[in-house]
Structure 1
Amino acid sequence: MSYRMILAALAVVHIVWGGGFIVLKVVQEHLALEHILLGRVILASLLYLLLWKRIPSPCYRKGDWKVLLLLALCEPFLLFTFETLGLRYTSASQGGMIVACVPLTVALGAFAVYREKIGRRCLAGIVCAVCGVVVVSALATAGDQAPAPLLGNFFIFCAVLASTCYALSVKHLCARYHYMYLAGVQVFGATVLFVPGALMQPLPPAHVLFSPQVAGSLLYLGLGITFLVYFVINYALTRIKAAVVIQFANLIPVSTLVFAYIFLGERLSPTQYAGVGLVLAGVLLAGASGSGELNTGKTQGEAHAQKACAAEGAAGD
């Protein structure tokens, strides 16, 4: 796939991701939280189950199971739980804005865990975006779409932290594990974790579950986001620089605001829109400019890891 095609695919899936907040608001009127969460992952799990034999085997190292468990726990289990719970109490517009801070929290986490340097530009962007989120949340008022916005925004921020932990876990594993293998572990693990809660809730009537609105929403969330979005993003991370991929997160809050305005009639105050501007400016400021070159070869980390795996395999023969 060419560089331009990868960029186009990233733009499409991030717009789809932003629309997911509106779909969640709609489907929550018909299904219990536990059923929504299971529905988001079970369809993707079936697809990965069909593809599993085609996915390259990993180079497992002692203790990796802990990081793999953390991976599945953080995203999508905790991410989807906090995200869905948060949208019960806050508007899709505000939720989308807070999620836009994920690249910034990842930068801070990478500095804390891996000692990756944060430039002045990135630091200024982080401060700017945090100020914007504070403005949007602090001035939020209760309404039909946001009965308890401060509580909802807190849950959404917890989802951001879960996503950050996921990104740091992937960074630790990606040199030795294929991106589809990691994605499969995520959805399989989340399915197992979501099943008990779903079984404790009474099943909705068949006419509700298979209604066009509910069935379409679950297909959108399960196939459109849980499968397609992660598939494209993980693939892009193997082909182009991560700094370029991260830039497309800017489309999430923008598309969420547009869709929420059109389909839900959500409105923010002028001051909150100013806060939205601060968030977008902060994310843009923090983002590094990327190269237009494809990563056609293996990274040094991947090459080193594969050599180490080969050596371990030879030693075990």
Structure 2
Amino acid sequence: MQKYKVYGALVMIMLFWGFNVSATKVLVSHFAPLTMTSFRILIAGLSVLLMLKIMKASRKLQLKELGFITFVGLFNVVGHHFFLSLGLQKTTATNGGLIMGLAPLMTTVLAILFLGTRLTFIRFIGIVFGLTGVSFVVLHGSGTLSSGSVGDLFVFLSLLIQAVSYVFIRKASSTIDGRLMTGWMLVTGSVLLFIMSLFMEPKGLSTMVSGDIGIWMVFLASAILATAVGHMVYNQTVQHIGAAESAIFLNLSPFFALVGSSLFLGEPIYLQQLIGFVFIIAGVICGSGIVEKAMRSRKKSINISA
């Protein structure tokens, strides 16, 4: 695949993921959050497995592999989507999208704590920038914690729990195809979420019979385009251009989340949020190693030319 096509695909996926924050905000406002999320994730997982079957990239999993996938799914799917759904009920899509933009930085922080990744000065500056950006986002307006900030906290917890799952995945010496793991993780996680919803939302199923055609189109787009196709294509781009180069495009996701929240939900965008966005992007670029990689490449090219 030519590089410009890979870049185009990555921009499109970031558009899906950014707009999906607004879509999720709409969905949790119309349906019981956990019940809706369990069905959305189930459809996404089944879509991934079906596409892999068509591509002949599927295989039977060993019981041990399925057990590992289910365990990681407790963090990557259950915990992440549990707190994300509850958080978006209490905060704006704008704030949620900006906080989710911290994903690469949060993964780096946990890698430093648990995987032995070296904490350099530039990475430390990136962490400070990222936390500063979140402070601007969470405390905009009154400058104090509010009910909206509780939603921000839930969104941040969802991000933290998802980053913990990446540590487990990276630490495990697994031979499972990343796409296959994604599909089964979504399916097993959706089942666990549904069981939780039966206790936490006894009348949740009754809400799923409501909604007009527009809401159900948003539901299917979120499940199939953003979650299923999005993760499948992103995994493919990593294979073509590498994880580091692909990760740079993740910075577009919070930008599209800002645009989506304004276009589709009419949410105002405040100066403090824009300042927070700039700090978050700077934090991700410094903290995830992008700056250091660029410096090493530049130094190497200078040495070669010399």
TM-score, reference length from structure 2: 0.83
TM-fit CA distance, 1:202: 4.6
1:257 — aligned with what?
Answer: 258
The gaps in structure 2 that reach 5 residues or longer are 295-306
1:155 aligned to 2:157? no
2:46 — aligned with what?
Answer: 46
1:20 aligned to 2:23? no
Q: C-alpha separation between the residues in 1 aligned to 2:187 and 2:175? A: 19
* Percentage of identical aligned residues: 23
| Residue identity in the other structure for 2:268 | R
| Residue identity in the other structure for 1:78 | G
Report if the CA contact (8 A) 2:100-2:156 is conserved: yes
2:304 — aligned with what?
Answer: none
1:1-317 aligned at under 5 Å gives the runs 1-51=1-51, 53=53, 54-57=56-59, 67-140=68-141, 148-173=147-172, 176-199=175-198, 200-204=202-206, 208-209=210-211, 211-287=212-288, 288=290
TM-fit CA distance, 1:120: 2.6
Cα distance change on mapping 1:206 and 1:190 into 2, 3 Å: closer
Q: C-alpha separation between the residues in 1 aligned to 2:136 and 2:269? A: 11
| Residue identity in the other structure for 2:79 | L
Q: C-alpha separation between the residues in 2 aligned to 1:241 and 1:176? A: 18
After superposition, the C-alpha distances for 1:109-151 in whole angstroms (9 at most, x for unaligned) are: 1122221223332221121111110122123559xxx982110
Cα distance change on mapping 1:117 and 1:239 into 2, 3 Å: farther
Q: Which deviates more from structure 2 when the two are superposed, residues 71-80 or residues 192-201?
A: 192-201
After superposition, the C-alpha distances for 1:188-229 in whole angstroms (9 at most, x for unaligned) are: 1112112224553253478724x2222112112110122011
| Residue identity in the other structure for 1:179 | G
After superposition, the C-alpha distances for 1:145-190 in whole angstroms (9 at most, x for unaligned) are: x982110011001111122012222323475111122112211111
TM-fit CA distance, 1:56: 4.8
Over aligned residues, Cα RMSD in angstroms?
2.7
Q: C-alpha separation between the residues in 1 aligned to 2:243 and 2:173? A: 13
What is the number of residues matched between the two proteins?
Answer: 286
Report the secondary structure of 1:266's partner residue. Answer: coil
Q: C-alpha separation between the residues in 1 aligned to 2:125 and 2:22? A: 31
Q: C-alpha separation between the residues in 1 aligned to 2:148 and 2:18? A: 19
Q: C-alpha separation between the residues in 2 aligned to 1:44 and 1:228? A: 8
TM-fit CA distance, 1:18: 0.7
Q: C-alpha separation between the residues in 2 aligned to 1:64 and 1:207? A: 36
Cα distance change on mapping 1:52 and 1:2 into 2, 3 Å: closer
The gaps in structure 1 that reach 5 residues or longer are 292-317
Report if the CA contact (8 A) 1:22-1:256 is conserved: yes
Report if the CA contact (8 A) 1:23-1:217 is conserved: yes
Structure with higher helix content:
2
After superposition, the C-alpha distances for 1:72-113 in whole angstroms (9 at most, x for unaligned) are: 111222211111110111111111111111111111111222
TM-score, reference length from structure 1: 0.81
1:311 — aligned with what?
Answer: none
Q: Which deviates more from structure 2 when the two are superposed, residues 12-21 or residues 275-284?
A: 275-284
Q: Which deviates more from structure 2 when the two are superposed, residues 228-237 or residues 83-92?
A: 228-237
Q: Which deviates more from structure 2 when the two are superposed, residues 32-41 or residues 157-166?
A: 32-41
TM-fit CA distance, 1:17: 0.5
Report the secondary structure of 2:188's partner residue. Answer: helix
